[in-house]
């Protein structure tokens, strides 16, 4: 008797998703609650678990299909017979692959559909396959950090950068004297946009079309924060179990500045302005499929340690793909730290319906004048993009100056100045 696998409830107002990847194939054994497919929604990737023990039967939907909540995407057959045949099937595919590689070395650069790791077949996502081909690494030599040990794009990039992975592409055979060959054909690859990327594109364009966006800049001397972090980072990590970073300081400073300038933490709703007596800070976090923006709820009530723990947990679960939909809803102001990627200066785009986004950038030593003397100081550019319909230039500058003062004199964070 077959059991239907249906698309689970994905969250409020979400009725459909894109089938991003099958994690199991027909004939493979599966246990109850084991992920068999990955769905891409507007915000996150969601694993579809098996409802029962059994063997994968028919796959009703294909990768890339749009599926509705409640729709049948696969069927699981009862029994365990196929479970014992899964390993030989992997060995057969491996043997065939080796034979083909020996007979036709030029095929070594063909798209990688599977990587055999520790005797098991591992299906690679399209982005991981592209990275494997681009950097010429062997996925079987890379340890995956994703859910259930799956490879992520970051794993491939790290392996390529460290040089720890062996080259996947076989060396070309010695050239045979022949007539001059024609110039190699230039190749293109057409990849369908993921649902997440389409949603990001739509929302960013909506922000540009709707809001009267303007960006104001300032810079901040990071000397005091760096000294405080250097002095207390070991004690901080020992007591709280998390590293002391810069984001905790900036979130607390943004909360203080938002109290002075409430419009930065507000939004336009129809013909009304909605002010919040709380500060929910959206923080941009890097994930294998792109940036996601989970929300630190009630940041005004959290300590620096609680903020650092929350951000650390968001980053870990973003890499694993286990962030929940409700964790990325809401938010009253966004902080985007492009400095971790080396950005010197940028003009971030606001995240509707929010009215402001704070952009942080890399820290670099620059000459500045202090008490009449030119000295080298660790400086960072700050950028505040805001909706000019709601926030005036004076308010934007006031917000940045208040934030700058708090970072350059962290004591202000303790005495609420």
Q: Nearest CA to 385 among 360, 411, 408, 362? A: 360
CA distance 408 to 226: 10
**Measured torsion, CA atoms of residues 307, 311, 313, 318, in degrees rounded to the nearest 10:** 160
- The token duo for 347 is 């003009």
| Residue 116: burial class (beta carbons within 10 Å; 0-12, 13-18, 19+) | middle
Euclidean distance between CA atoms 293 and 314, whole angstroms: 9
Phi, psi of 276, rounded to the nearest 5 degrees = -110, 140
CA distances from 193 to 63, 190, 292 (A): 13, 9, 16
* HSE value, Cβ hemisphere, 13 Å, CA-based, for 268: 17
Give the separation between CA 245 and CA 241, rounded to whole angstroms.
Answer: 13
Pairing of strands 356-360, 290-292: unpaired
Catalytic (active-site) positions: 388, 392
What residue spans of 261-328 are helical by DSSP H? 304-320
What tokens does 215 get? 């960006």
DSSP state of 168: -
Report the distance separating Cα 120 and Cα 78, nearest Å. 22
Q: How far apart are CA 122 and CA 167, in angstroms?
A: 18
Is residue 129 within 8 Å of 113, Cβ to Cβ? yes
Element (H, E) at 234: helix 223-240
Beta strand extents in 224-289 (DSSP E only): 267-269, 272-274, 281-283, 285-287
Query: For residues 253 and 299, what is the distance between their CA atoms, to the nearest angstrom?
Result: 11
How far is Cα 19 from Cα 126, in angstroms, rounded to an integer? 12
């Amino acid at each position: 008797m077959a059991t239907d696998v249906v698309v689970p409830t994905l969250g409020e107002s979400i009725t459909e998703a894109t089938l991003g990847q099958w994690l199991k194939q027909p004939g493979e054994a599966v246990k109850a609650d084991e992920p068999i497919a990955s769905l891409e929604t507007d915000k996150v990737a969601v694993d579809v678990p098996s409802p029962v023990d059994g063997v994968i039967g028919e796959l009703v939907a294909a990768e890339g299909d749009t599926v509705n909540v409640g729709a049948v995407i696969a069927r699981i057959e009862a029994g365990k017979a196929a479970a014992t045949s899964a390993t030989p099937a992997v060995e057969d595919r491996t043997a065939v692959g080796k034979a083909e590689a020996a007979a036709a070395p030029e095929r070594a650069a063909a798209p990688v559909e599977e990587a055999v790791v520790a005797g098991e077949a591992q299906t690679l996502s399209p982005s991981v396959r592209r990275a494997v081909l681009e950097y010429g690494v062997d996925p079987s030599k890379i340890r995956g950090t994703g859910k259930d040990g799956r490879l992520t794009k970051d794993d491939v990039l790290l392996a390529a950068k460290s040089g720890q992975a062996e080259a996947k592409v076989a060396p070309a055979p010695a050239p045979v004297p022949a007539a001059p060959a024609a110039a190699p054909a230039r190749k293109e690859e057409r990849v369908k946009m993921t649902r997440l990327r389409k949603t990001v594109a739509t929302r960013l364009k909506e922000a540009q079309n709707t809001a009267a966006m303007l960006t104001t800049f300032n810079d901040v001397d990071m000397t005091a924060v760096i000294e405080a972090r250097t002095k207390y980072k070991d004690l901080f990590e020992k007591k709280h179990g998390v590293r002391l970073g810069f984001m905790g300081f900036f979130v607390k400073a943004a909360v203080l500045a938002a109290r002075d300038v409430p419009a930065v933490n507000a939004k336009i709703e129809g013909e009304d302005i909605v002010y919040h007596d709380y500060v929910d800070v959206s923080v941009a976090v890097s994930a294998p499929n792109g940036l996601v923006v989970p929300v630190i709820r009630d940041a005004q009530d959290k300590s620096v340690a609680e903020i650092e723990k929350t951000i650390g947990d968001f980053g870990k679960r973003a890499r694993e793909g286990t962030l929940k939909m409700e964790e990325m809803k809401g938010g009253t102001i966004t902080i985007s730290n492009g400095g971790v990627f080396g950005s010197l200066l940028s003009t971030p785009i606001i995240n509707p319906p929010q009215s402001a986004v704070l952009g942080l950038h890399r820290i670099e030593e620059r000459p500045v004048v202090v008490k009449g003397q030119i000295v080298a100081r660790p400086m960072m550019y700050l950028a505040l993009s805001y909706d000019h319909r709601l926030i005036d230039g004076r308010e934007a500058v006031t917000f940045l100056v208040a934030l700058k003062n708090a970072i350059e004199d962290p004591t202000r964070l303790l005495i609420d100045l």
